[in-house]
Amino acid sequence: WVVTAAHCVHKLEHLLDAVRLGEHKISTERDCIKTPRKDICPPPVEDVGIEEIIIHEKYSKSLYHDITLLRLKRKITFQRHIKPICLPIYDNLRNKEYSQYVISGWGTTENGTTSDVLLVAVVSKVDARSARDLLKMHRLRWPITMGQICAGGKDLVDTCRGDRGGPL
Instruction: Concatenate the DSSP letters of all residues of 24-89 into one string.
Output: SBTT-SS--EE-SS-EE-PPPPEEEEEEEEEE-TT--TTSTT--EEEEESS----BTTB-------
91-156: same fold as 2-72? yes
Domain ranges of the chain: 2-72, 91-156
CA distance 78 to 72: 14
According to CATH, the superfamily of the domain at 91-156 is Trypsin-like serine proteases (2.40.10.10)
Of 65, 64, 68, 66, the closest CA to residue 54 belongs to: 68
Residue count (the chain): 168
pLDDT at 154 over 80: no
Question: What pLDDT is attached to residue 60?
Answer: 84
pTM beyond 0.85:
no
Q: Measured in Å, how far apart are the chain's first and last C-alpha atoms?
A: 17
CA distance 54 to 152: 29
The strand pairing partners of 82, in sequence order, are: 79
* Strand pairing report for 33-34 and 39-40: antiparallel
Q: Tell me the percentage of the chain whose pLDDT exceeds 70.
A: 96
User: The domain 2-72 is classified under which CATH number: 2.10.10.90, 3.90.1170.40, 3.90.1150.10, 2.40.10.10?
Assistant: 2.40.10.10
pLDDT at 156 over 70: no
